[in-house]
Structure 1
């Protein structure tokens, strides 16, 4: 552990072990740097960012706040690799001890809703200052009429298309830069699911197919969720009724069956690294991803990076949807310093703080507030100049969505984590009868409800 010279701030990195309440007990027992400060202490568990140096922005902001408010602060940056952040939340929830503030991904605020402090008094002023949040953030973070998490800038991401400029022009006759011009609103009226399929076929024939995975990990599931939403294809409605046997679901499955003809043969086995590698290797014409693949290409394959353009997704019969997976900062109800925790989260959610975090992540991180989508880092990112301008959805050109919605959270989380939609698509593509695939999904959904 390293202590700052003013003894108001402590930063730690530690190795976490999985699965027991002893994990949380170990965190609580960790020593603090002592100081004569009036406003108490806070222990923070943040996601350990994959971008080198990105944690530093969070660290700097927390230190600024701690010095001003005279609070002793300890930070743990907890990796999501090996599900360590997930296991930390489970252990702390069970032990009723651990961090005051913990970063919770996507479904976890709903899972732990009864153990989290409502933060309506923080979110109200933030929305007034920074604009409304998207409906997916509200669905995931506002439970029973109360906000139980602050949408975090760090880790939140849109997984939209990242295309090869040259391949899309050469094989599909699509100019993605003209369709999504840097600094200007999209001109994407013709960018529909039909156009998407034709482009996928053309790039496949050209030897550089789209890299759209259909495995059971998050990147694959997120894409499937957006495609299903584009057809209005819900598996379970917001009342908990199973709605898988619908024309909309049939249309989504037919779409996937057509698309999979033009994808690499092994996409059903892809994980979250597969699409990145496929694009960075120079093979792919398009993947669905945040700017992580572009950032790796910029470092390892600069000639590939020069040809990459991040933009909006195609429009389906029921609208244009893009996968969005937010992180939240939540306060446990066993925290001993809830006022200080709320004060810190308000500070970290200001426009200035959010911009510093976005810049430190190279444009990867996304604030969820509508007024915070035009930071200069996205306009100035290169190569090529402006490649990330449309990444944060600056013109609300598409609806930000999450797979499994609008089902009740406990069911939607199972749809997401069990990859029900991608499994349906693969089963149908491999020759299973449409109605048998839907019957399988209904059986799965009934099981989710029983359990």
Structure 2
């Protein structure tokens, strides 16, 4: 290890000063560390390795810049060529599926939710990398393990989650009669209704928005005691509890800004930053953009967890980002080495800072990163890697659970009822049929 690099465990325990040094490490220093890391690494890349990596398109520019610096340092230190392509959230899964079916085109995918579970037999066993990172990063959260492991084997490595939390304008909330953000379902519904009456409406995606729509609609289902599947992976979506959730969401939807049934994952960001929208569910990317381009909005906005369920318990589906290596790659050692390098504390801590709260690692030690307390508006996002459920809810993550969220089974049920395409009974029956085709 060269002289500039702090002890590998120290970054997780350090105060803001040391982390600030790491975050501003020069390209030369980063390359020096990468060379030292590569020399000691148990994964030795194949000669002439060329790796094609697909990842989701950035929502926070500084996160992407930090990521590409890590890529550049790794390439120079190891001689591996890594070609990074970026796609929107909704295009990741189709492109990954094509590669899985054809056995070509991609070596690695940094995707959404339960992507490795869509084709577990096409994923390289990453248990050695996950064990290495768990020991260095303070251990994996339960949700991280659920996102990465199948039958005791790590089929993917869960990098981080981004919180599906409430972004709201403080002034509009207070004008609607709420001094604090409501923590119960009735208070939340009252807030949305009053904000609409005041001409400062809320809006959450009901279209095929992989992150935004899935996040808050699964919350609404779970908050009312509904579930797609039970603990034995039996389909139980057609229930009185689901009916209550549908009626609740319809009440919200009727007070939303028009057009949310066709929103994708960037629609609410644009509307909020344009001043058309005063409450939504999103990651921290709206706030990050506002601080840069519209400080008046940034000053007047804050974040909160979605309200507790009817039973007083919190249940959230935050957007997990797992990375997988296809087992048909010609360069498995290079892929493993890069995954381990990019998530090593020396890389991940400054990267988390650069992401400004958008990435909450599933490695428990990273909750100590000063980014979460440097600005109190960041703090709600700190623990989403620990508190989130997986898309399976009560059930076990599986190929079927991955297919259900990829097919928008829950989202379409809510959208069909809210837009009047189906009544409550028909919406639940349609979702039940779709789910039973998956969970045979």
Question: Aligning the two structures, in what range does the TM-score lie when normalised by the shorter sequence?
Answer: 0.7 to 0.9
Which of 194, 208, 211 aligns to 1:202? It is 194
Residue ranges of structure 1 left out of the alignment (5+ in a row): 9-36, 177-189
Question: Where does residue 128 of structure 1 map in the other structure?
Answer: 135
Q: State the Cα distance separating 1:63 from its structure 2 match.
A: 4.4
Question: Where does residue 321 of structure 1 map in the other structure?
Answer: 315
- Equivalences for residues 341-360 of structure 1 within 5 A: 341-360=335-354
Question: Where does residue 418 of structure 1 map in the other structure?
Answer: 407
Separation (CA, whole Å) in 2 of partners of 1:110 and 1:262: 37
Contact 2:362 2:385 in 1 (8 A): no
Separation (CA, whole Å) in 2 of partners of 1:132 and 1:285: 38
Q: Deviations 1:20-46 (Å, cap 9, x if unpaired)?
A: xxxxxxxxxxxxxxxxx9862442514
Q: Which has the higher relative contact order, 1 or 2, with Cα contacts under 8 A spaced 6 or more apart?
A: 2
Which of 219, 223, 236 aligns to 2:229? It is 236
Contact 2:89 2:265 in 1 (8 A): no
Q: State the Cα distance separating 1:430 from its structure 2 match.
A: 5.2
SS at match of 2:436: helix
Contact 1:160 1:323 in 2 (8 A): no
- Equivalences for residues 22-421 of structure 1 within 5 A: 40-42=47-49, 43-47=51-55, 48-65=57-74, 71-81=78-88, 85-153=92-160, 156-176=161-181, 191-218=183-210, 219-318=212-311, 319-380=313-374, 385-393=375-383, 399-405=387-393, 406=395, 409-421=398-410
Question: Where does residue 27 of structure 1 map in the other structure?
Answer: none
Q: State the Cα distance separating 1:152 from its structure 2 match.
A: 2.0
**Higher deviation after alignment, 307-316 or 415-424:** 415-424
Q: Deviations 1:371-399 (Å, cap 9, x if unpaired)?
A: 2123223333xxxx432122222796xx3
Separation (CA, whole Å) in 2 of partners of 1:230 and 1:172: 24
Q: Deviations 1:47-71 (Å, cap 9, x if unpaired)?
A: 2534335333233334444555xx3
Structure 1 residues 80 and 278: alpha-carbon distance in aligned structure 2, compared to 1, 3 A threshold: same
Q: State the Cα distance separating 1:309 from its structure 2 match.
A: 1.1
Separation (CA, whole Å) in 2 of partners of 1:295 and 1:227: 26
Separation (CA, whole Å) in 1 of partners of 2:419 and 2:95: 39
Contact 2:203 2:277 in 1 (8 A): yes
Contact 2:284 2:357 in 1 (8 A): yes
Q: Deviations 1:214-254 (Å, cap 9, x if unpaired)?
A: 22322112210122122331122343322122232122122
Contact 1:168 1:174 in 2 (8 A): yes
Q: State the Cα distance separating 1:121 from its structure 2 match.
A: 2.1
Indicate the RMSD between aligned Cα atoms, in angstroms: 3.1
**Higher deviation after alignment, 260-269 or 308-317:** 260-269
Separation (CA, whole Å) in 2 of partners of 1:440 and 1:394: 31
Separation (CA, whole Å) in 2 of partners of 1:411 and 1:95: 21
Separation (CA, whole Å) in 2 of partners of 1:258 and 1:129: 47
**Higher deviation after alignment, 38-47 or 363-372:** 38-47
Contact 1:214 1:426 in 2 (8 A): yes
Question: Where does residue 29 of structure 1 map in the other structure?
Answer: none
Separation (CA, whole Å) in 2 of partners of 1:427 and 1:339: 46
Q: State the Cα distance separating 1:110 from its structure 2 match.
A: 0.9
Contact 2:126 2:157 in 1 (8 A): yes
Separation (CA, whole Å) in 2 of partners of 1:127 and 1:232: 33
Separation (CA, whole Å) in 1 of partners of 2:89 and 2:250: 33
Q: State the Cα distance separating 1:402 from its structure 2 match.
A: 4.2
Q: State the Cα distance separating 1:341 from its structure 2 match.
A: 3.2
Q: Deviations 1:126-176 (Å, cap 9, x if unpaired)?
A: 2233234344433332112211111124xx411111111221122132335
Contact 2:147 2:322 in 1 (8 A): no
Higher helix share: 2
Question: What is the aligned residue count?
Answer: 395
Separation (CA, whole Å) in 2 of partners of 1:204 and 1:38: 57
